[in-house]
Structure 1
Amino acid sequence: MNAAPPVARPADTALAYHTRTKHSLKAYAAGPETLDWDAQPNPFREFEGCPRLALPLAAEGLAATYGEMVTPGAVPPAPLDLAGVALLLELSFGLAGWKQYGPDRWAVRCNPSSGNLHPTEAYVLASNVAGLPDGVHHYVSRDHVLEQRYAARASTSVAFASASGFAMQRSFARSPAGPARLHLALSSVHWREAWKYGERAFRYCQLDLGHALAGVRYAAACLGWNASMVEGVSSAEIARLGGFDREADFAGAEREDPDILIQITPGPALAVAPPEPDTRGWTGTANVLDRHKLYRWPVIDAVSAATHGGTGASDPAAAAAPELPPRVVTNGAQASAVILGRRSAQRFEAKNSTMPQDVFFGMLDALMPRDAAPFDAWGFTPRIHPLLFVHRVEGLAPGLYALPRREGITGALKAALRNDFQWVKPEACPDHLPLYRLVETDCRGIARTISCHQAIASDSSFALAMLSEFEATVAADPWRYRQLHWEAGLVGQVLYLEAEAAGFRGTGIGCFFDDDLHRLVGLESLEFQSLYHFTVGRPAIDTRITTEPAYPGRSA
């Protein structure tokens, strides 16, 4: 009698997926052989049959400066009401404008996305928020409206203990009595990325989640609010709260994968559970985004299932966070203008991309984990450590540099990387910034080649590869395969806004030759893996592309 084949452990599935979806100089990861841009999936999810609530537009009138946004306590808390929720969504998931080139017109959003495909969907879970009906609402960025998926009925309340061990209270109540509670549940439509990127798309969806989490935290900071990722909540729980597990509501439509639950508070507060809907009171059916799918990528479903979780052992960041002085950011630019003005650079002006040294060091300092936006939304040990290809920074020798983002990891990095690296701290580098020069060299050609031959990696001021503490982290809890990408996305969003605020511009690079980079720097195992590349420089603006208002015809 033949034995049944062994079932792969979830961690093995995640590790195998990662290896399978690597690009190399010899071949790219599996993807579609052709793209019909006229048949691109609908970039906007809607639910037919839901009551709609138009939200006010007020971001341009928000007074908070960029410096205040990233300084804890600098912005007085705004009321937790409908106007505040509208601003939160406008600055985190709303449109920043419409672009047009010839007959082509496309939306640009506040949160960046691989290929501008936007797999992330946002749901508002509200209770006792003035002006906002209690229930579950889906945000439609195209129209800046909320669709009420679930309407709360009678008040119910039940106490329970979370996986983190603290008592929380659950209820949905129509009554205005009691404190206001606000949570965001984020999900991903994997097909939006897979349509263009094939099997590697799951990685990009997770990076986008990290960008979205940082975007929510920055938007909350503009209102004087706190935003934090809720730990100890399972993927299945998030699916129930957001209604993603409702089979009938997604009949024939692309499903949404549960990802992150975020708690929003107007000030420091004990964690409270989101209101939990019951099985009645739901309305709406999801629209079909792509009626003519030409490919199937079952490996994405496999790695998605293998990395569901979120209820593993806690991983406190405080134990590994370095002792850092607080940042002093005096940038007086309007925070909302920086957020709304952020764009992904398409090309750089190489001759004009020399970056002042203080801007460069300030940007790296912003990547260090502190109790300030956006990293105070992240309750986990920092496990992303950039390798920087420095091209054009005043007073800094071109070459390869490393920025270990937590204490205790430098020794492991030294042991894993090439033994002829120098590990010399630049003379002008601030004492608290753990930046090390590994080798002094012109690395523009290397950066370009490793980043899928893209000139944006060589024409910039600097480019970087985000090394993650990989194999041991994923083996301990496969859910952390997602989490590592989220942290990389967080780091990327910091670079996006810091670059924009300094008069530069950044762009994420999801296409890179994984193991060719690893071999270049001496990595021989899965102990460390690069998850994301990024580049910052002076953008070359294509004047043929015109920009139109995000919401023409609408005012605050």
Structure 2
Amino acid sequence: MSPVPRFHRQTIHTPASVRAGGWPDWSGQPEVFKYYPADFPRLSLAAVPDVRLLLFRCAGLTARRVYGDTVYFLRANPSAGALYPCELYVQARGVAGLADGIYHYEPRGERLCLLHEPESATDGLESCCEDDRRVEGLVLLVSAIYYRSSWKYRDRALRYCLLDSGHLLGGVEAAAICGQEDHEIFCRIDRQRLAAGFGFGGREQAMAMVVLGRRGSERVTSLAMRLPFVSGTGTFVANRFIEGALEEIGRPEHCRPAAGGAGYPFSAGILADAIARRRSIRAFAGVPLLRREFDAVLDTATMAVSMDCDEPVRILAVVNRVEGMEPGVYAGRRCLAAGDFSDMARYLCLEQDLGGDSGATLFLTGAAHNYLPLLLKAGLMGQRIYLTATGLGFGCSGIGAFYDQEAAAFLDTDDMILYALAVGR
């Protein structure tokens, strides 16, 4: 087994660390939308409805909430603390109604901001990918602005930026399924070249690219774009721990590619509706799940991911209330220990009732090799679990905060605990 990375060890939660945590500096609260200056051209996505629908399903705004004087927007993909560190960039080639170029997606207003028009046929984002063949169609870049999360969650925001990016990748996967489009996720990308081209300035990091299009034979060998730095937060406080960790994990090695994709247990129409309706449940009523519902969650979550660097992620479940299943700890469908462990699940999830009142609380685990794609995959699997639950008519809540060491000991695993999700009614 690979050793647990120091940056994972340094971000564990314990009962003592949770109770010692302070409050965020509200005067430094970051903005959650990034905008380029007004002189950058904008295009309303109403002019390209197919692209509008795809991007809405990836990362669009699905609801608006008003609390006092503050307006909050909910999105197609969940985010730890609703802080939304991720940004989405789009390269288009040969897309009807859309000029070839690299764009930034503005979900509020549903617009694309044109950042760069290609200078030649060999200029583009493909040059930052190991497979640099020209793509006719769309190439998406998912990035994370870590301060949006570290403002509240400090060093542990490293995990949340990766998991949130994985959720967005899961949103891209689901959108591709709705549109019957092939897709490929790439983690082995040239992050330094991307940072220089986009002017990220160390405050925003490229996480992954997704190809939604047809590969040609011509190679794309350069990225001529050189953008000025544009803040996506307004305020900013550097976190050298996170910056160093992202630099260290940004070069995956000895990767094993995988081909595949989710097959949801319902139609594309139901999936599209689930994307728009997805929410994080706040409390369970204690009504049991059906066995087939639990099985559907496991089957969908664990299907192969179309990814250039696939790392194994396992699911250990504390089954609390599932008809036809004895309560206990399960590895997949195999019971490891029978008994009512709902109080323990509640405790492990930072003593939140969601962990114990659920039909089942799922712990996603994995070893340390290639930490970035490992966490991205865990987040993507989390998005699959959310959408499966929503489509089948029950609830889900992602739980990124848990007592790491206690959870691993209770589940009797040497793996890292990557993520937890509670599902139920």
Cα distance in structure 2, aligned partners of 1:162 and 1:108: 31
Classify the secondary structure of the residue corresponding to 2:344: helix
- The share of aligned pairs that are identical, in percent, is 30
Between the two structures, name the one with larger relative contact order (CA 8 Å, sep ≥ 6).
1
Classify the secondary structure of the residue corresponding to 2:257: coil
CA contact (8 A) 2:186 2:307 kept: no
Q: Which residue of 2 aligns with 1:486?
A: 376
Q: CA RMSD in A?
A: 2.9
Q: Rate the CA distance shift 1:16–1:84 in 2: closer, same or farther, 3 A.
A: same
CA contact (8 A) 1:185 1:259 kept: yes
2:110 is aligned with 1:144:
yes
Pairing partner for 1:314 from 255, 268, 272: 255
Q: Which residue of 2 aligns with 1:363?
A: 297
Pairing partner for 2:9 from 12, 19, 23: 19
Q: Which residue of 2 aligns with 1:286?
A: 230
Cα distance in structure 1, aligned partners of 2:394 and 2:336: 25
Compute the displacement of 1:487 (Å): 1.0
Tell me the amino acid that sits aligned with residue 181 of structure 1.
G
Q: Rate the CA distance shift 1:98–1:163 in 2: closer, same or farther, 3 A.
A: closer
Normalised TM-score (structure 1): 0.70
Tell me the amino acid that sits aligned with residue 256 of structure 1.
E
CA contact (8 A) 1:316 1:381 kept: yes
Q: Rate the CA distance shift 1:521–1:529 in 2: closer, same or farther, 3 A.
A: same
Report the structure number with the largest CA radius of gyration: 1
- The answer for unaligned runs of 5 or more in structure 2 is none
2:10 is aligned with 1:44:
no
Q: Which residue of 2 aligns with 1:354?
A: 288
Cα distance in structure 1, aligned partners of 2:18 and 2:372: 22
CA contact (8 A) 1:126 1:275 kept: no
Cα distance in structure 1, aligned partners of 2:179 and 2:302: 23
Cα distance in structure 1, aligned partners of 2:264 and 2:397: 25
Cα distance in structure 2, aligned partners of 1:188 and 1:162: 17
Number of aligned residue pairs: 421
Task: Show the 5 A alignment for 1:83-482.
Answer: 83-156=49-122, 168-169=132-133, 180-230=136-186, 232-240=188-196, 243-244=197-198, 246=199, 255-265=203-213, 276-279=222-225, 282=227, 286-287=230-231, 289-291=233-235, 293=236, 296-310=238-252, 312-317=253-258, 329-331=265-267, 334-350=270-286, 353-370=287-304, 375=305, 377-403=306-332, 435-470=333-368, 473=369, 480-482=370-372
Tell me the amino acid that sits aligned with residue 302 of structure 1.
G
CA contact (8 A) 1:114 1:510 kept: yes
More helix by share: 2
2:399 is aligned with 1:512:
no
Compute the displacement of 1:25 (Å): 2.2
Normalised TM-score (structure 2): 0.90
Cα distance in structure 1, aligned partners of 2:192 and 2:299: 37
Higher mean Cα deviation, 100-109 or 341-350? Answer: 100-109
Compute the displacement of 1:535 (Å): 0.5
Q: Rate the CA distance shift 1:332–1:397 in 2: closer, same or farther, 3 A.
A: same
Q: Which residue of 1 aligns with 2:418?
A: 531
Cα distance in structure 1, aligned partners of 2:178 and 2:94: 22
Compute the displacement of 1:186 (Å): 1.2
Cα distance in structure 2, aligned partners of 1:513 and 1:328: 31
Classify the secondary structure of the residue corresponding to 1:338: helix
CA contact (8 A) 2:25 2:151 kept: no
Cα distance in structure 2, aligned partners of 1:190 and 1:41: 10
Q: Rate the CA distance shift 1:122–1:273 in 2: closer, same or farther, 3 A.
A: farther
Compute the displacement of 1:41 (Å): 1.1
Compute the displacement of 1:521 (Å): 2.9
Cα distance in structure 2, aligned partners of 1:449 and 1:487: 26
- The answer for unaligned runs of 5 or more in structure 1 is 1-10, 58-81, 171-178, 404-434, 474-479, 539-556
Which whole-Å deviations, capped at 9, do the CAs of 1:347-369 have from their partners, x for residues lacking one? Answer: 2222xx31111111122111222
